[in-house]
Structure 1
Amino acid sequence: MNLLIIIPAFLVTIGVLVTVHEFGHFWVARKLGVKVLRFSIGFGKPLWQRVSNDADRVEYAIAALPFGGYVKMLDERECEEGCEIPAEDLPRAFNRQPLWKRAAIVVAGPVANFLLAIVVYMLVFMIGQDAMRPYVDVASESPAAQAGFQPGDRVMAINGVETASWDDMRMLLVEEYLKSPQLLFSVSTQDGAQVQRSLDLQGVPMFKDEAGTLDKVGIRPWLPEYDVVVHDIMQDSPAAQAGLQAKDKILGMDGVKPAGGHAFIEYIRAHADQPIAMQVERAGNQLVLNVTPRIDPKTGAGQATIGAKLEAPPRSVLETAYFTESFGPLESLWRGMAKTWQMSVVTLKLMGRMLTGEVDLKNISGPVTIAQFAGLSASIGLTYYLGFLAIVSVSLGVLNLLPIPMLDGGHLLYYLIELVKGSPVSAETEAVGFRVGMAIIGGLMVLALYNDFARLLN
């Protein structure tokens, strides 16, 4: 992917998320009368600085390392030896505030991330984007096949909760699975019958590796059958060497007629380095071409290809499978709130199941993966990038609420202890907690970076 897209998209993503998070702390602190000394986006040497003209003389800065930020407030505990805080400023020191004010300032950062996600999701629903209706194709010998799913089934609801699009169904399936592995699907078949299909996912390792959850279930998007026609051929590719040409219609592969572009691609991927007898129709004549799919290292996915681009499905097929999903302002706001809540709960549950080993640690991603997806979503379109931004904002909000020292949730844990025992935790306890938190966060960062580079190498 083009670095000219990846780098700006990543910087905008990190910049927006960090700014919103830190502004939450900043805004609430100022509203509650706490004196703010510095608002910094990034760490390290400042690249840009400005001092406000008001009485507080707040220093605003953008620093060299963009992975985070901070709001520095007046605090006697951070006053170095020899420094002196003016008497008139002491009532505005953070450490002198009542417990509820300190807790409100700390929780404001994650809350700002959740509010950002709500607003962004609201915008996505108002702008509207193409969505795929939840028609399913079924992999043989999969849990879905055992449950009786048939190609062309349309999922109407899971456990009584209606679903309108493919993405809705995917998230709802994960959400309901985390409650119970026994799921009840309401399905409309191709002949219009309304049936129930019981899907038992007990014992299915849904999150043990990076494969998609729907792949584990054995369902994938379905399109009505249509003719597969070649649009273009890449130079020096297996397709070019075999004599395949643009406008060729694919009649069969080893005698098997592809039901559509997806089936054609899957067959190619399943036959790496294996010759395929491809029956094609060209200008009314039928030909048989021998083509051998090869692994293309440029794809980064280790998948076989022949170097042929296919024409888009016919308009009638696209109109059957796709629709534009958009809503009015109030409906979009409600859906934005519901989507943010759903993502927050699912994220928190998946984090919890990492502790039990049910969710593989390979699913933890770092800045490299975030940058890749930022660039990918930005290259597809605005609404896809906004959706990605909302997902990362929710993840940042949930992560910061975990009761780990150094994070906002760690401070809230200290305040809960203070509420119970009637006095703040000791400086020694905070120092030990800081070292523990530093070790946990450092370990997670190392693991995330390792996963990132492992994906790149693979």
Structure 2
Amino acid sequence: MNPLFGSVFWLLVTLGVLVTFHEFGHYWVARRCGVRVLRFSVGFGKAIWKRIGKDGTEYQVAMIPLGGYVKMLDAREGDVDPALAGQEFTGKPVWQRIAIVAAGPGFNLLFTVLAFWLMFMLGKPDLAPVVAAVPQSMAAEAGIHAGDRILSIDGRPVATWSDSMDAVANAMLGRDPLPLQVRGTDGTQRNLVLPLDRLPAGEDIGQYLDTLGLKLAPLPPVAATVLPGKPAAEAGMQGGDRIVSINGQPAAGYDDFQRLIPLEAAKSPHLHVIVERGGKAFPLDITARKESLEGQPVTWVIGVSSLEHEKAVLRYGPAKAFGAALQTTWNSAAATFNMIGKMLTGQASTKNLSGVIGIAQVANASASMGLGWFFSFLAMVSLSLAILNLMPIPVLDGGYLLYYLIELVKGSPVSERVMMAGQYVGLVLLFTLMGLAFYNDIHRFLPT
């Protein structure tokens, strides 16, 4: 699928699912509390599809997919037929209004647990946390060696590459020294400390990761498979041969080998390759060919494939998956609140915010990696929506909850004047936040 089309498509799928679930929470609890629902809308603006349900509610899908709403019978928006007074929103007890407003974020939280539960049952294909360090980087100075396997980070066990990187990324927000335990290729376990306190302030997570220099261990320059009838096989290369050099250029890893083949073949297709087999060096003369592999652009090839990174898949039965889903939801919520707190106090950069463009890109990438990854992505976005909507900003659910809590304390509703002023302040804050996130998305496309 074209990356642009894929990003737009999976963004619409993501927003459609999560907005529907959020608004259904408001709708369902409102109906349970006896409030008449006039309209259930996924999206804003002009309707592109709508129908009237048996309950009298107008259901619609609107043109602008960045949200949705549930319109209830509300005396603040016009006169209410006396016969319907018992179904009007503001006439309900304050605890029912709180329940209706809180139901949207609450349903997003339920969806988060459900999505993580499905992810753990389906399995999320990943790689083992076998790492290396960029030379002269923080990770190298901390004692990370090529082939080290991360066992735990800050006392918490990790089993996959993405889990370990998530833990490191979260720790970077506070920029405190981070303890981790690794096992080397010789089987010895070591306790190390990543000096995150030396990271400069005010950068985003991506730049911090570059500075840290912790990366997935590179594949060795080994020809795992030599394809019959291809140049390497015709020259005598065998599966398991270790490529030492190409035209005198050393190949420290398989990435070097892949880089050197087209680079040297562009000068001359006749390549002098040294391989190691059984502890002995064998010189081979290989004539590269230009081919297109699996629909990819034409390039120079010799017909070998690499070893694969060690796989790690988290997959549980229903009961264990549910427990893991609850724990992951809790940990992710704690990490999100930690990030918000760090940004509010200036300890973390607002460059870490992402908007619609960033979400679309991650949606497409996660969908291409499999259903488990897409459920994980949906869970994180749903959790973010729940937390965002609970923030005490007028126009968001959290703002209305604040008004109703004040009403509980003072015994009377907040005045219309205060609510209107809050709406304007809330809109300014919300558009500022959205503008900052959009700016970050655009800035990531620009050359540094």
Q: TM-score range by the shorter chain?
A: 0.7 to 0.9
Give, in angstroms, the shift of residue 109 of structure 1. Answer: 0.9
1:388 maps to a residue whose letter is F
Quote the residue 2:57 is aligned against.
58
Quote the residue 1:37 is aligned against.
38
Quote the residue 2:66 is aligned against.
67
**Aligned residues, how many?**
418
CA contact (8 A) 1:135 1:223 kept: no
1:409 maps to a residue whose letter is G
Match of 1:398 among 370, 373, 387: 387
Match of 2:371 among 382, 404, 416: 382
CA contact (8 A) 1:231 1:308 kept: no
1:96 match: secondary structure = coil
1:52 maps to a residue whose letter is G
1:41 match: secondary structure = strand
2:7 maps to a residue whose letter is I
Q: Say what the alpha-carbon RMSD is for the aligned residues.
A: 3.6
Structure 1 pair 197–29 and aligned structure 2 pair: CA distance change class (3 A):
same
1:217 matched to 2:212: yes
2:197 match: secondary structure = coil
* Farther-moved stretch of structure 1 (130-139 vs 254-263): 254-263
1:338 matched to 2:327: yes
Give, in angstroms, the shift of residue 382 of structure 1. Answer: 2.1
CA contact (8 A) 2:127 2:312 kept: yes
CA contact (8 A) 1:249 1:280 kept: no
CA contact (8 A) 1:47 1:61 kept: yes
Match of 2:404 among 394, 415, 420: 415
Quote the residue 1:96 is aligned against.
91
Residue segments in structure 2 that go unaligned for 5+ positions in a row: 228-238, 262-270, 276-281, 289-297
| TM-score calculated relative to the size of structure 1 | 0.80
Quote the residue 1:442 is aligned against.
431
Quote the residue 1:25 is aligned against.
26
2:216 maps to a residue whose letter is P
CA displacement 1:388-413 (0-9 Å, x = unmatched)? 22221111111111111111111122
Quote the residue 2:254 is aligned against.
261
CA contact (8 A) 1:40 1:60 kept: yes
CA displacement 1:287-326 (0-9 Å, x = unmatched)? 899xxxxxxxxxxxxxxxx966896532xx54xx213321
Give, in angstroms, the shift of residue 69 of structure 1. Answer: 0.4
CA contact (8 A) 1:130 1:324 kept: yes
Give, in angstroms, the shift of residue 280 of structure 1. Answer: 3.7
1:362 maps to a residue whose letter is K
CA contact (8 A) 1:251 1:279 kept: no
CA contact (8 A) 2:152 2:181 kept: yes
Give, in angstroms, the shift of residue 142 of structure 1. Answer: 2.3
| TM-score calculated relative to the size of structure 2 | 0.82
Q: Distance in 1 between matches of 2:260 and 2:336?
A: 35
1:60 match: secondary structure = strand
* Farther-moved stretch of structure 1 (59-68 vs 333-342): 333-342
Structure 1 pair 364–311 and aligned structure 2 pair: CA distance change class (3 A):
farther
Structure 1 pair 158–36 and aligned structure 2 pair: CA distance change class (3 A):
same
Identity %: 40
Residue segments in structure 1 that go unaligned for 5+ positions in a row: 233-246, 269-277, 290-305
Q: Distance in 1 between matches of 2:346 and 2:135?
A: 28
CA contact (8 A) 1:417 1:425 kept: yes
Structure 1 pair 422–53 and aligned structure 2 pair: CA distance change class (3 A):
same
1:333 match: secondary structure = helix
CA displacement 1:309-368 (0-9 Å, x = unmatched)? 896532xx54xx213321101111111122222222212221222233333333222222
CA displacement 1:12-49 (0-9 Å, x = unmatched)? 11101110111111111111222211100111111111
2:347 match: secondary structure = coil
2:25 maps to a residue whose letter is G
